[in-house]
Chain A
Amino acid sequence: MTSTPWAFSKIRSPLLAASTSKSDPWQAAAELAAELNHPDLRWVVFFCSAEYPLPQLAEALNQAFPAQELVGCTTAGELGLQGYAQGSITALGFSQQAFSLAMTLIQPLENFSLAEAQKEVNQLLATSKLNFAGQGQHFAMTLFDGLSSQEELALVALNAALGGIPHFGGSAGDDIQLANTHVFVEGAFHTQAAVLILFTTHLPFEVFTTHHMLPLETKLVVTEADAVQRRVYELNARPAAEVYAELTGVAVAKLSPLTFALHPLAVKLGQDFYVRSIQKVHADLSLTFYCAVGKGSVLTAMQPQPLLPDLQRRFAGIQSRIGKPLMTLGCDCFLRRLESEQRDEKEAASAFLREHRVIGFNTYGEHHAGLHVNQTFTGVVLGEGDASQ
């Protein structure tokens, strides 16, 4: 399969997307570069399958894009020109006429303090100011190593430092291998690391988050947990996996990511439900989650609804505020894709993403306004025109 750029790839556009499903890193990099190695495009954000040999991919990309700054991460599935994809690379080029991107590697993630967050954000703001002439608005994107288990504390610090700048992001995946999640910045892949990207643009945009869940009656109390490891040993003072298996009607031995996708658990804070997705079942009947759960948390059983009506409503609302969308950069939980496959919604969802020009990836966790959650769809819709006028 060859990459199919959109029709505006030959004309000057603020954004240019390309995808490749070549498995050879050198061929893949060359195919992307054929579309995106344009002098106006100063930055390329990419999302790649973890199946690629990462050191070689890094080298190939660096050579293919000598004049561009590259940033990205590994995925649990790509959102590309054709909608949902796997084993591929999807990339978005940003022109310097409409954008400025400033980015920084955050490593190590442990004990990342508010003071450090403030310093990084200030530096990115200063860089943006230098690079972007004219009136621009900011938004920030975070990419985390999805197995670092460090999202909550680092995101809280970053969100505080970002102040009123809208924020979204995702945690890198590895096709449910749970072994090999990386972020890419400064020419190399990194683990136990994160990237903060500050976008400045005169295009209209809106950062959003959405989910499609309704709460059920059942409540479970976390009675034994290791919050740092995101591991829950007991629910309602019984082995966690046993309780969850009873709830879902699936035998413990048969619990799978699909079960986790179709039977989510969420904490209710204020008026809102935040899904905490199960990552895996351990032999001792404990459960590891994709995001933090604490002892004493009350988990509510949730019922997913069809994905599309929620997405359609959300995008229609955004379009009414910012006008015709140009492109969306999105972070979509991989469990949603599993759900859509199970419910035969995948083709329709794929078509929706294609039509709405959503470029992004399937995540192990989504970030929005400093919060780390699961089974949501978050991102930024970029509109046409000039918001500064």
Chain B
Amino acid sequence: MPANESDQLHQLQEENLRLQKINQALIERVEAGSSLSEAPYAAFEHAAALAEQVRERTSELTQLNAQLHLEISERKAMEKSLLEAKQEAEAANLSKSKFLAAVSHDLLQPLNAARLFTSALEEKQLSSEIQQLVTSASRSLNDVESLLRTLVDISKLDAGAVQPDKARFCLADLLNNLGSEYQQVAASKGLTLSWVTTQAWVETDQHLLARILRNFLANGLRYTPAGGRLLLGCRRQGASLLIQVWDTGLGIPENRLDDIFDEFQRVQVEPANGKDQGLGLGLAIVDKMARMLGHPIKVASRLGRGSMFSVQVPLAEGVERAQPSNEAFQIKQQRLQGAKVWVLDNDAAICEGMQKLLESWGCQVTTATLAEQLEEELASQKEGPQLLIVDYHLDTEVSGLDVAALLAGRLPRELAVLVITANHSHQLKAEVKRQGYQLLYKPVRPLRLRQALNQLLG
């Protein structure tokens, strides 16, 4: 073997040995691996591995933390803009309600005049053709008024302008009035309405309760086909009274019973009388008013069989009193014949309408648009009127109440006063009550006017 080959071989052998040793050292290291050693270097390796894990976790957590911070600030920003949007919406809603209340109020005034005219026309002897036209015009006005009233009600409720004025009173008058009023309406639609009155006294806001019951009745009339029946009645339940309106109408599907009290909701069945007359706000108003009064509302219905709406009113304790019967109520209707009635309204159209209507009921009517004219009348008719119908708002410095007080002071006999107004304020209502006068809100319905006159002249 040549010397250089031998050297080469020797070198390779040494190289091989070194590689074996490196291999051995690496194997030892790898096999010592993750075992927790007391040796300093192994401890260092272990600590380094731990430190790396901690670093990774820390950076993950830091990222997560930063992300959470970002989300929180985004949410806060969102919350802020939502709050702003809500406030804007509330402000817009409030101004909408105020606008609606104002517009509706302005519309009521001319409507009032129009109704008085048509009512007077209806009392005339007319050819049947014209009579039909007048009836149609009158019905259309009815619809307009009812829609307008609904809008006023909703906007006032939304604007928080209505405050309940609770008092104790006997339900008999209210039920009798409603019964007789809606009996006529029902008859015109080929429906039968009967009512059972009660001598029970309740404690609530009479005006709001009447509105709730009117809505129930109007609803029943709308969804009951001709030939059907409606019933207005009461049932005691512990310390309260359930005032119920039953109908034999179309009924309400079970899945809709909850949302019929929402605004603009109507059960999608054809109204019984062919055309829809509502905005779908009636029951929403009922719901708002009942909440305000704290009176539970209930509805029960069977589809195709009919519905029952009820309002639960607390009974006034310890008050029971004999009440005029239905017959007495009928007799009162006669009191208008020959009654001397003066009307003061700054709107000449209203005066004219009133005159026609009141004369058709047999009253002796004197109208005036200025208080001074009444003074002149007083010079010629010494005994003056039995009853004064006066608009509260006269476009002068003196109000209707002032004129009534002046006039009453100069008459030998007691003067009954009926104040007509579109002003729903509490103060006015209280003031009228204090003076012992009656109050009617515009637009004046002939039937209610007649009832009020009967009451005042009785």
**Which residues of B9-46 are within 8 A (CB) of A?**
17-19, 21-22, 24-30, 32, 38-46
Contact A221 B49 (CB under 8 A): no
| Chain A 352-389 interface mask (CB, 8 Å, partner B; 1/0) | 00000000000000000111100000000000000000
Contact A159 B47 (CB under 8 A): yes
Shortest C-beta distance, B60 to chain A (Å), equals 15
Interface check A323, CB cutoff 8 A = no
Contact B47 A227 (CB under 8 A): no
Interface check A322, CB cutoff 8 A = no
B residues near A265, Cβ cutoff 8 Å: none
Contact A297 B41 (CB under 8 A): yes
Contact B49 A270 (CB under 8 A): yes
Contact B51 A237 (CB under 8 A): no
Interface check A333, CB cutoff 8 A = no
Known: A152-B40, A292-B44. A221 touches B22 (CB 8 A): yes
Interface check B52, CB cutoff 8 A = yes
Report, as a range, how many residues of chain A touch the other chain.
35 or more
Contact A296 B32 (CB under 8 A): yes
A residues near B50, Cβ cutoff 8 Å: 370
Interface check A155, CB cutoff 8 A = yes
Interface check A295, CB cutoff 8 A = yes
Contact A371 B44 (CB under 8 A): yes
Contact A272 B52 (CB under 8 A): yes
Contact B46 A222 (CB under 8 A): no
Shortest C-beta distance, B324 to chain A (Å), equals 79
Chain B residue at minimal CB-CB distance from A235: B22
How many of chain B's residues have a CB under 8 angstroms from any CB in A? Answer: 29
Known: A153-B43, A155-B47, A274-B48. A369 touches B54 (CB 8 A): yes
Q: How far is the CA of A227 from the CA of B44 in the complex (A)?
A: 11
Known: A159-B47, A227-B39. A296 touches B29 (CB 8 A): yes
Chain B contact residues, majority secondary structure: helix
Contact B28 A269 (CB under 8 A): no
Contact B46 A296 (CB under 8 A): no
Contact A297 B18 (CB under 8 A): no
Contact A236 B22 (CB under 8 A): yes
Chain A residue at minimal CB-CB distance from B29: A296
Contact B29 A272 (CB under 8 A): no
Interface check A156, CB cutoff 8 A = yes
Q: Which of A237, A270, A272, A370 contacts B22 (CB 8 A)?
A: A237
Interface centre among A267, A270, A296, A297 (most CB of B within 10 A): A296
| Chain A 90-121 interface mask (CB, 8 Å, partner B; 1/0) | 00000000000000000000000000000000
Q: Which of B17, B38, B48 contacts A237 (CB 8 A)?
A: B17
Known: A296-B32, A370-B51. A152 touches B26 (CB 8 A): no
Chain A residue at minimal CB-CB distance from B48: A269
B residues near A296, Cβ cutoff 8 Å: 25-30, 32
Shortest C-beta distance, B329 to chain A (Å), equals 80
Shortest C-beta distance, B33 to chain A (Å), equals 10
Contact B41 A221 (CB under 8 A): no
Interface centre among B18, B41, B43, B48 (most CB of A within 10 A): B41
B residues near A223, Cβ cutoff 8 Å: 18, 21-22, 24-25
Shortest C-beta distance, B372 to chain A (Å), equals 79
Contact A371 B25 (CB under 8 A): no
| Chain A 288-309 interface mask (CB, 8 Å, partner B; 1/0) | 0001111111100000000000
Interface check A271, CB cutoff 8 A = yes
B residues near A155, Cβ cutoff 8 Å: 47
Interface check A238, CB cutoff 8 A = yes
Interface centre among B44, B49, B50 (most CB of A within 10 A): B44
Contact A271 B52 (CB under 8 A): yes
Q: How far is the CA of A271 from the CA of B55 in the complex (A)?
A: 11
A residues near B54, Cβ cutoff 8 Å: 369
B residues near A133, Cβ cutoff 8 Å: none
Chain B residue at minimal CB-CB distance from A368: B51
Chain B residue at minimal CB-CB distance from A238: B18
Q: Which of A156, A267, A295 contacts B25 (CB 8 A)?
A: A295
Q: How far is the CA of A237 from the CA of B51 in the complex (A)?
A: 31
B residues near A269, Cβ cutoff 8 Å: 45, 48-49, 52
A residues near B28, Cβ cutoff 8 Å: 295-296
B residues near A230, Cβ cutoff 8 Å: 40
Interface check A228, CB cutoff 8 A = yes
B residues near A237, Cβ cutoff 8 Å: 17-19, 21-22, 25
B residues near A224, Cβ cutoff 8 Å: 25
Chain B residue at minimal CB-CB distance from A370: B47
B residues near A267, Cβ cutoff 8 Å: 45
Shortest C-beta distance, A7 to chain B (Å), equals 36
A residues near B38, Cβ cutoff 8 Å: 153
| Chain A 229-242 interface mask (CB, 8 Å, partner B; 1/0) | 01000101110000
| Chain A 249-264 interface mask (CB, 8 Å, partner B; 1/0) | 0000000000000000
Contact B43 A152 (CB under 8 A): yes
B residues near A152, Cβ cutoff 8 Å: 40-41, 43-44, 47
Q: How far is the CA of A297 from the CA of B45 in the complex (A)?
A: 10
Known: A223-B21, A237-B18, A369-B51. A295 touches B29 (CB 8 A): yes
**Which residues of A105-154 are within 8 A (CB) of B?**
149, 152-153
A residues near B46, Cβ cutoff 8 Å: 156
Shortest C-beta distance, A109 to chain B (Å), equals 11
Shortest C-beta distance, B375 to chain A (Å), equals 81
Q: How far is the CA of A236 from the CA of B40 in the complex (A)?
A: 21
A residues near B47, Cβ cutoff 8 Å: 152, 155-156, 159, 370-371
Contact A227 B41 (CB under 8 A): yes
Chain B residue at minimal CB-CB distance from A223: B25
Chain B residue at minimal CB-CB distance from A369: B51
Q: How far is the CA of A152 from the CA of B43 in the complex (A)?
A: 7
Contact A227 B40 (CB under 8 A): yes
Interface centre among A228, A237, A370 (most CB of B within 10 A): A237
Contact A221 B44 (CB under 8 A): no
B residues near A291, Cβ cutoff 8 Å: 44
B residues near A156, Cβ cutoff 8 Å: 43-44, 46-47
14 A-B interface contacts by CB (under 8 A)? A152-B44, A227-B39, A228-B40, A234-B21, A237-B18, A237-B19, A267-B45, A271-B52, A274-B44, A292-B40, A292-B44, A294-B42, A369-B54, A370-B47
**Nearest 7 CB-CB pairings of A with B:** A296-B29, A294-B41, A237-B18, A237-B21, A292-B40, A152-B40, A292-B41
Known: A153-B38, A222-B25, A371-B51. 10 other contacts (CB 8 A): A152-B43, A153-B40, A223-B24, A230-B40, A237-B18, A237-B19, A237-B25, A294-B29, A294-B45, A370-B50
